[in-house]
Chain A
Amino acid sequence: MSISDREFWTLVHGMGFGALYLLAFAGGVAGLYSLSAKLITPEGVRERVARLRWGAVIMAVLVWMTVIVGTYVVYPWYRHDPTKDAGNAVDVKVQTDALREFPKFWLLASEQTAEWHNFGMEFKEHVAWLAPLLATVVAFGIFRYNGELANYPSARRMLLILFIISFVLAGIAGLLGALITKAAPVL
């Protein structure tokens, strides 16, 4: 039972940083939603805000790491063109075992799998990069408003909405990534 370097980094990107971000979302949204001065004592606000601040920063870092590792480590392996390698005689028009080392070209070699790249990866590689901007804004907002968020429901609601949008965008990218990896893993 062994995994290659490429499989390891794909795991770090998807199941490491990406999955952690999506899992931590539940705690973050519950924390933001319930941060109301009507529901908790001033002591409770202080305790929860401290946790929210840490949580928001960690989540922003996680989503940035997800897109950076995905784009600069895993994506080059996915999109590598075998016709650019000197002496490589792999036929990019037929789905052979040799072509499996080049996932993008393996997917494009058949009409039945081409849309995994033309739609799936083209969507995923771009939509993912919207999530970190929103996660950063949410973390910034939590830091700047601090405990005042408990008394400011409209600001809390805005940050919550941005947080949910960030999760949905990351979720779309994660789902597409999982399906594409199933169809054409980075070996």
Chain B
Amino acid sequence: MYKIMRSRRLKMEMMAGIVDSPGIQRAKSLGIRATTDGIGPIIDDPQIRIVFDSTGAKPHMVHAPLLEAAGKIAVDLTPAAIGPYVVPSVNLSGLSDAPNLNMVTCGGQATVPIVHAVNRVAGVVYAEIVAAIASKSAGPGTRQNIDEFTQTTARALCVVGGAKKGKAIIVLNPAEPALLMTDTVYTEVENPDEKAIRASVEEMVRTVQRYVPGYRLRMPPTVDDHRVVTIIEVEGAGDFLPKYSGNLDIMTSAAAAVGEALAVRMLGGR
């Protein structure tokens, strides 16, 4: 919500939920229209063109056809993955015309850019990522469907990242003080040219930083035979959620970047 409110092209029109949650109350306190009647009021409002859905995979399966029928574009932050995957730093310019776009997972948003950056100079045969997130920033949705995280992320490593094969692992760590999100990206490559890989990855990190300022390299790409390992961390913007919630920040930042690009297209490139 805060990220959309900061946009020049997007207007925060409505916050919808099913209970009078802190999020709903926060929207109200900022003078934004809010409802606890679920998706209905959004469908009924022709003003609303773009809908960010961060409910859950099952509710989104119900919402997606309703939104499409109402002519609205859904930016899906759940693991439902009905529409094509979008990772802004990789495939925003070729953004699909599909009525539903999926934001993969937080781990996918953090690691697919690295796999893509390695792939474009070295050819990735196999990509494997380990996403470690603070226990406190993993909500019940993630916890109850942890396989969806690993399976969706692994697919995106291939479909968007360009790897021939992919594997994803997630670890929740309850350490206090809470740890920043860290992601390790292992790749097996055809051309292990460390200099070219480093340049490509560093350029990609700068690209991601444009929409996720807290995205950083912890360990630059390091080649060992035909394997490359890169470690990144994601610090949350800290404007609303705590800084350790980089996993949530990278999802919402990426979704806001997609919303922005959709708005540019709707406004005819302005």
Is chain B a partner of chain A in the same complex?
A: no
